[in-house]
C-alpha cells in the first residue's frame, strides 16, 4: 500500500472516530485506537506500517505532548500545587503500587511490572474534563483539583519514564548505581529546561543577568514577534523539537522534552506590543474576528498571534498529526481469540484493583490533605480514573519501540484502560445528583 493511501485511510478513520466521540461523549482516543484495531483486522491497512507512517506517528505524539504542556499555565499550576499535592501523590502511588503487584504476580518480570505500573499511573485529564463539562461541572472546585493533580501526576510520570525506560531498555538489573545515574541524567535535563524557562526565555531580566550579552536583552518574545508574529507557530514548534531532541540526547523519549517545552512557554511571550520595533497591525487584520470578545482587554496583547498559534498547534496535535499515533498504535492489536480470552481475566483483575485503589487513595487524599468534603472527594476519585495520552505513550515506548512488554501485557493494559475510560463518564453522571444535592445543602 502506498504510504499516502495509508495516511488517507487513517485520516478518514480519524474523522469517523471524532464523530463517534461527539455522539457518545467519550474521549476520541478510545475511538482512534478502535479505528486502528478495526482497520488492521479487516485487512484494510497492513499489519506492519510503512516507515513514513511510523515516523509521522512519532511526530504526532510529540505534537500531542507539546500541546498538552502548552495548554497548561505554569503560574496556575504552581499556585494550586499546595492544595493538590496530596491528591496527586497518593492518587499516583496507589495505582502504581497495585499495578506493579498485579503485573509482578502475573508475569514475574521487574521490567514488565515497572512499565505496566508507569502506564497506569497518569490520569487522563482531558477525558475527565469532557465528562465534567457534559454535567455542567467544568468550573467547579472539583474540576480545578482534578486538573492540577492530573498535571502533577503527568510530570511525575514523565520523570519516572525518563528514569526507568533507559534502565529497562538496557536490560540490566536495577541497581543503586544504575538508578543514581538515570536519576542524575533526569535531574540534569530538567534543570536545563528550568534554566531555559526561567532565565533564557524571559526578556525582562533584572540584576547581573540583565548585563549578559544577548541573554540579558533578547528572549522568547523577540523570536515570536519576528515579522509581526507571522512565524510564531513555527518558532514554538522549533522549540518543542529542539527540547525534544535534547531529551533524546539524555536518553529520554522526545515527548518528555516536548511536554516540558510547552510548559515553559507562557502566554505573556506573545504580548508582542512590548517588543521594540513591532508594528501593531493585528487589530486591523483580525478586528472583525475578535471585536466581540470580552477577553481581549490586556494592554498591548495581540490576541490574534496567541489565539491563532494555539489553534494551529491544537489542530495539528488533536486533529491532523496526533491522532495518527493512536490509530497506528491501535493497528498493533491484531486480534487473537485465544490471546484475548487468556488475558481478559488479568484485565478485569487490573481494572478492579485500579478502580478501588484509585478512587480510595485520591478520595482520601482530597479529604485529608486537600480539605475537601466527602462528596467532592469521591467525585475527584472518579475523575482520576481515566487513562489516555500518557498511558499510551508509555505503552508505545515499552511495546512498540523497545519490546519490553509481551503481547499479553500490552493487551491487558489496553483492555483495562478501555474499561477505566468507559467508567469515568458513567461514574460522574451517577454521582452528580448526590454531589449537586450536597453542594446545595452546604455539607
Decide if 70 is inside a domain: yes
Q: What is the pLDDT of residues 206-216, one digit of tens each?
A: 555 556 665 55
Domain count, the chain: 1
Higher pLDDT, 421 or 178: 421
Decide if 430 is inside a domain: yes
26: containing domain? 3-287+297-441
Eight-class DSSP state of 402 = S
Q: Cα–Cα–Cα angle for 286, 289, 295, nearest 5°?
A: 100
Please report the pLDDT score of residue 293 as a whole number: 40
Decide if 418 is inside a domain: yes
Please report the pLDDT score of residue 198 as a whole number: 72
Whether 241 shows a pLDDT value over 70: the answer reads yes
Whether 145 shows a pLDDT value over 50: the answer reads yes
Decide if 404 is inside a domain: yes
Higher pLDDT, 230 or 99: 99
Exposure pattern of 32-50 as b/e (b: 16+ CB <10 Å)?
A: bbbbbbbbbbeeebeeebb
Decide if 136 is inside a domain: yes
Decide if 292 is inside a domain: no
Enter the pTM of the model. 0.67
- Tell me which residue of 202, 118, 130 sits closest to 160, measured CA to CA: 118
Whether 47 shows a pLDDT value over 60: the answer reads yes
Strands annotated E in 398-437: none
Residue with C-alpha cell 497506528? Answer: 328
Q: What is the pLDDT of residues 424-440, one digit of tens each?
A: 878 888 898 999 998 88
Please report the pLDDT score of residue 423 as a whole number: 84
Cα–Cα distance between 232 and 238 in angstroms, integer?
10
Q: Which CATH number fits the domain that encloses residue 185?
A: 1.20.1530.20
Q: Quick one: how many helices (H) and strands (E) in the chain?
A: 18, 0
Please report the pLDDT score of residue 349 as a whole number: 96
Percentage of residues in the chain having pLDDT higher than 90: 23
Whether 292 shows a pLDDT value over 60: the answer reads no
Q: What is the pLDDT of residues 1-44, one digit of tens each?
A: 889 999 999 999 999 999 998 888 776 877 888 899 899 999 99
Whether 159 shows a pLDDT value over 80: the answer reads no
Cα–Cα distance between 114 and 27 in angstroms, integer?
26
Amino acid at each position: 500500500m502506498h504510504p499516502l493511501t495509508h495516511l488517507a485511510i487513517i485520516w478518514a478513520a480519524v474523522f469517523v472516530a471524532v464523530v463517534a466521540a461527539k455522539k457518545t461523549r467519550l474521549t476520541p482516543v478510545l475511538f482512534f485506537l478502535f479505528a486502528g484495531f478495526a482497520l488492521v483486522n479487516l485487512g484494510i491497512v497492513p499489519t506492519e506500517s510503512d516507515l513514513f507512517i511510523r515516523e509521522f506517528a512519532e511526530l504526532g505524539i510529540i505534537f500531542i505532548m507539546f500541546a498538552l504542556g502548552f495548554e497548561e499555565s505554569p503560574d496556575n499550576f504552581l499556585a494550586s500545587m499546595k492544595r493538590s499535592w496530596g491528591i496527586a501523590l497518593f492518587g499516583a502511588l496507589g495505582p502504581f503500587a497495585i499495578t506493579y503487584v498485579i503485573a509482578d504476580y502475573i508475569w514475574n518480570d521487574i521490567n514488565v511490572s515497572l512499565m505496566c505500573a508507569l502506564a497506569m499511573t497518569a490520569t487522563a485529564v482531558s477525558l475527565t474534563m469532557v465528562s465534567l463539562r457534559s454535567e455542567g461541572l467544568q468550573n467547579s472546585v472539583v474540576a480545578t483539583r482534578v486538573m492540577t493533580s492530573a498535571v502533577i501526576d503527568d510530570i511525575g510520570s514523565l520523570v519516572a519514564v525518563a528514569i526507568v525506560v533507559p534502565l529497562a531498555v538496557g536490560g540490566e538489573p536495577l541497581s543503586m548505581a544504575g538508578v543514581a545515574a538515570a536519576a542524575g541524567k533526569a535531574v540534569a535535563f530538567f534543570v536545563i529546561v528550568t534554566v531555559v524557562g526561567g532565565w533564557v526565555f524571559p526578556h525582562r531580566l533584572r540584576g547581573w543577568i540583565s548585563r549578559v550579552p544577548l541573554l540579558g536583552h533578547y528572549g522568547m518574545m523577540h523570536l515570536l514577534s519576528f515579522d509581526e508574529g507571522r512565524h510564531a507557530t513555527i518558532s514554538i514548534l522549533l522549540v518543542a523539537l529542539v527540547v525534544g531532541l535534547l531529551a533524546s540526547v539524555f536518553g529520554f523519549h522526545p515527548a518528555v522534552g516536548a511536554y516540558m517545552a510547552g510548559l515553559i512557554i507562557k502566554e505573556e511571550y506573545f504580548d508582542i506590543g512590548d517588543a521594540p520595533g513591532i508594528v501593531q497591525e493585528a487589530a486591523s487584520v483580525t478586528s472583525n474576528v475578535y471585536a466581540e470578545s470580552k477577553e481581549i482587554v490586556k494592554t498591548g496583547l495581540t490576541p490574534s498571534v496567541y489565539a491563532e498559534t494555539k489553534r494551529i498547534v491544537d489542530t495539528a496535535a488533536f486533529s491532523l498529526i496526533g491522532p495518527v499515533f493512536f490509530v497506528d498504535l491501535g493497528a498493533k492489536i491484531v486480534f487473537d481469540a485465544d490471546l484475548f480470552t487468556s488475558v481478559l481475566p488479568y484485565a478485569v483483575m487490573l481494572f478492579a484493583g485500579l478502580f478501588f485503589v484509585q478512587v480510595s487513595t485520591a478520595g482520601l487524599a482530597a479529604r485529608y490533605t486537600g480539605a475537601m468534603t466527602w462528596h467532592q472527594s469521591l467525585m475527584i476519585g472518579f475523575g482520576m480514573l481515566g487513562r489516555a495520552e500518557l498511558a499510551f505513550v508509555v505503552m508505545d515506548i515499552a511495546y512498540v519501540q523497545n519490546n519490553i512488554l509481551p503481547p499479553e501485557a500490552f493487551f491487558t493494559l489496553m483492555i483495562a484502560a478501555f474499561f477505566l475510560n468507559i467508567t469515568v463518564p458513567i461514574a460522574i453522571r451517577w454521582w452528580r445528583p448526590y454531589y449537586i444535592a450536597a453542594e446545595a445543602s452546604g455539607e
